[in-house]
Structure 1
Amino acid sequence: MSPRTHLYDLLVSTIFTEGLDGEMDLWALGFSAIWIKGTDLDTLAADLHLDPATRTPCHLSEILDRNIDDGSDWVAEVNGWIGIVPGVGRERLRSISEGGREVLNVSMDITGREYFDYARDGRMIVSFDPAFPENRSGDDPHALDHLMDGLRFQISDDGFVDDRVEEDESFSSALALIGRITGTDMAADWFEARHSSMRPVSS
């Protein structure tokens, strides 16, 4: 693993176990995850229509198979934050953050777009494409600048396309930013640790 793409590479090796098609990659599959602070798991499960009674131990490496089989989400609690994989649509982030909650989103879609979002108390504070961090939007676009120092979203500050880092590295930097905000180790606390899965509420 390259140090510059370490978190992206770790995520890929965790999601794609040996039993899966070796030709698949995260860009072809797509990926989304959210982290929420300011609520308890039972309340959040109700908001996301997950059934706490179905909660079972689960590593992130198992969630792709479980999600395909029965729609399970991976649910992880660390340092006051609750992580959910897969995440939710970006249009729901503001509503999930209402009531004083904080919500982080990092995702990529099969068209090659990357997203980073930080919502708080019903407001989108910062939103940007990790490949183009200079194009931040939101109520306070520079609210997280103090946590982005040293992260390689782009090589220079000139804004030229030729100076961008590769997508794998920019996504790895977005994951590192999540770790800085949540005050956690993305590898040991989230990707490699054993947490839980929950199935959707039966209709």
Structure 2
Amino acid sequence: MREFMPSDYSWQNGYGPLDEIYTITFVKGLDDRQTLQRFSPHTLDIREFSRDEVLARWQETEGCCDIVSVKQLADWTVTYEYSGWEGARKEVQRELSRDGGEVIAVCRHDYAHDRFSYAVDGQVVTAFDPTFPQDRWGTAPDRLILDMADLGLDPHHTLEGGFIENDIAASLALASRISGLLVTEADLTWPMLGAQIITRIPSDPVTPWRDRTR
């Protein structure tokens, strides 16, 4: 299998065509419509959306767009959320990956926290903030450390080590190494099949800090 590298995703660096807030989610085990239906208990109006429609919704929601776009690529479905992050939520990943599926989500958020998460069969296996890859959680937080290190996401990173360069591009390359699938800029251009999330999957109850294992 090809060893994908951060340079494969250099097209999204800077502000890039995807802008500064987005989530890309790789879903295995569901087709495009099944994926959209699992994003929300009441996902309606599955249809093609244009760029203008998505940007209009971004303005209506004051920067928190609730439209999920999908593209079927080989045996994976790839979702793209412009200025959205539902795919990065563990509750959504649990729903998308239940019954033997797999989900890999990469969330870029230049004004909050980035996120990489890999879930299998309803459970998060490995998750971390690409800015701080030394702080990982999940059922097997060390499963991906060899590829992480090779991609520049140092699993033993320290604050004294400074900023990690190309952390989002490296996270997308890590997603490609897991899935075997390279996503290109052309794959994420509108019009795309999509749906507006009508009802969000509820968040899990907050666990008291002393009992929290993440």
Q: Distance in 1 between matches of 2:30 and 2:7?
A: 34
What is the RMSD of the two structures over their aligned residues, measured on CA atoms? 3.3
User: Hey, which of these two has a bigger chunk of helix by percent?
Assistant: 1
**Offset, 1:78:** 0.9
Q: Partner of 1:162: helix, strand, or coil?
A: helix
Equivalent residues in 2 for 1:1-203, closer than 5 Å: 3=7, 6-9=10-13, 12-16=15-19, 26=20, 30-49=21-40, 50-51=43-44, 54-56=46-48, 64-65=54-55, 67-68=57-58, 71-86=66-81, 87-88=85-86, 90-92=89-91, 93-109=93-109, 111-154=111-154, 159-166=157-164, 169-187=166-184, 190-191=187-188, 196-200=192-196
Q: Name stretches of at least 5 consecutive residues in structure 1 with no aligned partner.
A: 17-25
Query: Contact 1:37–1:102 (CA<8 Å) still a contact in 2?
Result: yes
**Offset, 1:42:** 2.7
Q: Name stretches of at least 5 consecutive residues in structure 2 with no aligned partner.
A: 1-5, 61-65, 200-214
Q: Distance in 1 between matches of 2:179 and 2:158?
A: 31
Q: Distance in 2 between matches of 1:153 and 1:184?
A: 19
**Letter paired with 1:6:** S
Q: Distance in 2 between matches of 1:183 and 1:134?
A: 24
**Offset, 1:9:** 1.4
Q: 1:190 to 1:149 in 2, by over 3 A?
A: farther
Q: Partner of 1:95: helix, strand, or coil?
A: helix
* Count of aligned positions: 182
Q: Identity, % of aligned pairs?
A: 19
Q: Distance in 1 between matches of 2:58 and 2:101?
A: 30
Q: TM-score, normalised to structure 1's length? A: 0.71
Query: Contact 1:108–1:114 (CA<8 Å) still a contact in 2?
Result: yes
Show CA shifts across 1:108-163 (max 9, x none): 34543211111111111001111222222111112223433521124xx7633132
Q: 1:63 to 1:127 in 2, by over 3 A?
A: farther
